[in-house]
Structure 1
Amino acid sequence: MSERVIAPKNRGFLFLDSHPSGCARLVDEMWRSVPDPVAAGGEGPVALIIGSSAGYGLAATIAGLARVGIRGIGVCFEKAPGRRTGTAGWYRTAAAARLARQHGRDMVFLNGDAFSDTMKEQVAGLLAERFGGRLDFLIYSVAAPRRTDPDNGHVYASVLKPIGPPSTTRTLVFDDHGVPEVKDVTTSPAEGDDIEQTVAVMGGTDWKRWITYLGDRSLLAEGFATAALSYIGSPLTAGIYRQGTIGAAKSHLESTARVLDERLGRTLGGRAVTSVNAAAVTQSSTAIPGIALYVGLLRGVLGDTMVSPTGQLVELWDQLTGAAPLVLDEESRVRLDTWELDPAVQRAVAERWGAATSDTVAELADLDWFSDEVRRLYGFSVPGIDYTAAVDTEVPWPS
């Protein structure tokens, strides 16, 4: 047993350690927030969640377990405890597995490279041996800096750059004392093969490879449905996001969905869609220039009416399972972001965006909420946790 007091140490929005008890409490809160959970036990549909340990992928896992009673497999890539604590996703996965067991859900979590054919082979074996050789749902939620192509070993690297001229956006930072500062940052444009590299990592190539791999092994059930999680966002952040290299990857993801939808509909009576989620504080989103300021201002406008990732994924599961109608936009996308992109909301956020300075931002944005949300990503600022007490960091991976 390795017990110690864990204090938050960070470089900007990146924390060096995670708190096991705080991470576990957060997963408990997510589970309890799911409305009308299904009864414990039972033979629920078989689901595969790729990217199950963080952000919207974690929300998909918890919402699926609690709301639908899924069983199946979660795939993620997390670091074990060692000299430092384990990653937050390591502890969140342990907590999710514990809750799944308590509620009679047969859920297996695999830790490794989701891009690799080795992981695909491992998942296929588990589906065949443990889950009756059928998969009903696949949720794809992967945000990664690099991808190794299994066919040729080439390593692609994603970049966050605008396409065209340099992009200047407003962003929010905090100094060492937690004092907020609003400043402009300029990002140089994509060059060379930056777009192709980013699309190769963050586009639909690997999602399609998963569907093809499992389909070729007759592991997709009749009526199989799959969703890849995406984001469009506000015009305020479009220059660096939707109109940038990441946006090109999201467009590729959406075009892949249309190809897969046609194939699955023809062969299995199935569906493939992208789900456009709304803004949230995640480990991925805090790395995007401008997003911290934008989300803080959005919270300042909407307060508690913002829909959490878990709440959004409950809605997605309801649509995928037929509990609610599957509603698609003109690009065949599920839209869970309509509350964020409501014109009145965007006008209010834009007004605050233009007025925000280092002196005024505390009045315009909910900075206390934003700071707590960032800390909660790593298990800190969680009510009910005694951060002065020693905690065991050697939490095992769920067997």
Structure 2
Amino acid sequence: MSERVINPRSRGFLFLDSHPAGCERVVQDMWSAVPAPPSAPEGDGPVALVIGSSAGYGLAAAIAGLARVGIRGIAVCFEKAPTERRTATAGWYRTAATAELARKHGRDMLFLNGDAFGDAMKEQVSELLAERFGGRLDYLLYSVAAPRRTDPDTGVVYASVLKPIGQPHRTKTLVFDGQGAPEVAELETAPADGDDIEQTVAVMGGADWERWIDHLADRGQLADGFTTAALSYIGSPLTAAIYRQGTIGAAKAHLEVTARTLDERLAKQVGGRAVTSVNGAAVTQSSTAVPGIALYVGLLRGVLGDALVPPIVQLADLWDQLTGARQLTVDDESRVRLDTWELADSVQAEVADRWKKATTDTIGEHAALSWFHDEVRRLYGFAVPGVDYAAPVETDVPWPEPTP
């Protein structure tokens, strides 16, 4: 037993420990927030593979698929186990909680922990598909955000960076001091140089997504009508210089080109589809690392309030479109647009006005600060209603083993 009281300790938006009970409650709340399907899933659901399933939109994809569609299959992520000095990562605890809910609801879902970029993981997934699910995959959702990737063919390690392209970019950003007091600061980011763009595209573009499809197709494991979606983001003009027009934006553009290439291939091979899903803004462990995004999302929530659409609701919508519960609608770039509520002209105009007015002295008038601060803490299992943080909690939670 390794029970102890866990207090939140952080460096900026990065927390050193996670709270198992808080993470479990977050997952339970997400499951409960999935809109009820027209009829409860019965029998064997479609076989799905969710890559990047422990955080952000990938976690929402796994939970929404399980709760609304009744998917079975495999979820892949990369998380750290607990040690004597540290708790496990939040994604470890969220995965354990997701697995328990899947079990309780009769969903046959396997959870694998390892490097999704590596061919060893791809082969392990193929073997499990053959052994457990009849060797046919109906859906693949891809949601991987990572700082680096090792090319399986060459062994070269690529590193992604968050940089503008062409010139330095100066932006407002939101930070909190050790006591949680907000500050609106100015941050300048140097432009990409050398092979920064190529390296970022190699990590965050479509290369690994396509490699997964190639691996499964070569083994004849794509079912008729197989459909795949890579989860993406475009965002506001306020953050475009560092995001959509920056190195990450170049990777997202490559992801979209990959989607169109895969869409043509899959249509011919199995009558299938490939799309990117452009999701709306959310507080995630990845998004808080992007300069300016914290301020932007806080202001966006200040404008929209409860009309801000959470990831779990967006992914339920995506699953409805992928499974044919309602029409799959894409734009001219083969993108499913789940971000129209965010990018509405009236919303963006109000956020831009608040962005101009935001200073350390006035930020409380324009942004939903307490909401944003709590959302960051909830990423690690803190500030979750209904959890007793004064009580000791078991930190040595095992990785979910597959049921017979």
Amino acid paired to 1:23: C
Amino acid paired to 1:370: F
The residue number in structure 1 matching 2:326 is 324
Q: Distance in 2 between matches of 1:41 and 1:105?
A: 10
CA contact (8 A) 1:71 1:106 kept: yes
The residue number in structure 2 matching 1:390 is 392
1:77 aligns with 2:39: no
Q: Displacement, 1:184?
A: 1.1
Q: 1:259 to 1:40 in 2, by over 3 A?
A: closer
Amino acid paired to 1:257: A
Quick one: which of 257, 260, 263 aligns to 2:262?
260
Amino acid paired to 1:377: L
1:63 aligns with 2:73: no
Q: Distance in 1 between matches of 2:282 and 2:316?
A: 15
1:231 aligns with 2:233: yes
Secondary structure at the residue paired with 1:339?
Answer: helix
The residue number in structure 2 matching 1:20 is 20
Q: 1:17 to 1:41 in 2, by over 3 A?
A: farther
CA contact (8 A) 1:41 1:105 kept: no
CA contact (8 A) 1:41 1:103 kept: no
Q: Displacement, 1:178?
A: 1.2
Amino acid paired to 1:162: P
Q: Displacement, 1:36?
A: 1.4
The residue number in structure 1 matching 2:208 is 206
Quick one: which of 173, 176, 187 aligns to 1:174?
176
Q: Displacement, 1:40?
A: 6.2
CA contact (8 A) 1:12 1:174 kept: yes
Secondary structure at the residue paired with 1:109?
Answer: strand
Q: Distance in 2 between matches of 1:63 and 1:389?
A: 31
Matches within 5 A, 1:357-368: 357-368=359-370
Q: Displacement, 1:39?
A: 3.3
Quick one: which of 64, 88, 91 aligns to 1:89?
91
1:277 aligns with 2:268: no
Quick one: which of 105, 124, 127 aligns to 1:125?
127
Q: Distance in 2 between matches of 1:41 and 1:90?
A: 29
Matches within 5 A, 1:95-110: 95-110=97-112
Quick one: which of 183, 186, 202 aligns to 2:185?
183
Q: For residues 88-115 of structure 1, what are the alpha-carbon distances to aligned partners after superposition, in whole Å with 9 as ceiling and x for unaligned?
A: 0000000000000000000000000000
Secondary structure at the residue paired with 2:183?
Answer: strand
Q: Distance in 2 between matches of 1:105 and 1:394?
A: 25
Q: Distance in 2 between matches of 1:191 and 1:19?
A: 39
Matches within 5 A, 1:242-257: 242-257=244-259
The residue number in structure 1 matching 2:53 is 52
Q: Displacement, 1:41?
A: 5.6
Q: Distance in 2 between matches of 1:120 and 1:355?
A: 49
Q: Displacement, 1:3?
A: 0.2
Q: Which runs of 5+ in 1 are unaligned?
A: none
CA contact (8 A) 2:41 2:69 kept: no
RMSD: 0.7
Quick one: which of 344, 347, 350 aligns to 1:345?
347
CA contact (8 A) 1:73 1:123 kept: yes
Quick one: which of 306, 311, 314 aligns to 2:308?
306
The residue number in structure 1 matching 2:165 is 163
Secondary structure at the residue paired with 1:280?
Answer: coil
Q: Distance in 2 between matches of 1:384 and 1:122?
A: 38
Amino acid paired to 1:45: P
Q: Distance in 2 between matches of 1:363 and 1:292?
A: 16
Q: Distance in 1 between matches of 2:12 and 2:306?
A: 25
Q: Which runs of 5+ in 2 are unaligned?
A: none
Amino acid paired to 2:58: G
Q: Displacement, 1:42?
A: 1.8
CA contact (8 A) 2:41 2:68 kept: no
Q: For residues 108-137 of structure 1, what are the alpha-carbon distances to aligned partners after superposition, in whole Å with 9 as ceiling and x for unaligned?
A: 000000000000000000000100110000
Q: Distance in 2 between matches of 1:35 and 1:316?
A: 12
Amino acid paired to 1:306: L
Q: Displacement, 1:176?
A: 1.3
Q: For residues 215-260 of structure 1, what are the alpha-carbon distances to aligned partners after superposition, in whole Å with 9 as ceiling and x for unaligned?
A: 0000000000000000000000001000000000000000000000
Amino acid paired to 1:69: G
Q: Distance in 1 between matches of 2:69 and 2:387?
A: 30
Q: Distance in 2 between matches of 1:366 and 1:238?
A: 22
CA contact (8 A) 1:10 1:16 kept: yes
Q: Displacement, 1:52?
A: 0.3
Q: Displacement, 1:332?
A: 1.3
The residue number in structure 2 matching 1:6 is 6
Q: Percent identity?
A: 75
Secondary structure at the residue paired with 1:144?
Answer: coil
CA contact (8 A) 1:40 1:105 kept: no
Q: 1:321 to 1:40 in 2, by over 3 A?
A: closer
Q: Distance in 2 between matches of 1:266 and 1:152?
A: 30
Amino acid paired to 2:381: G
- Number of equivalent positions: 399
Q: TM-score, normalised by structure 2?
A: 0.98
Q: TM-score, normalised by structure 1?
A: 0.99
Q: Displacement, 1:344?
A: 0.2
List, as ranges, runs of 4+ consecutive aligned residues in structure 1 with deviation greater than 3 Å.
37-41
Secondary structure at the residue paired with 2:397?
Answer: coil
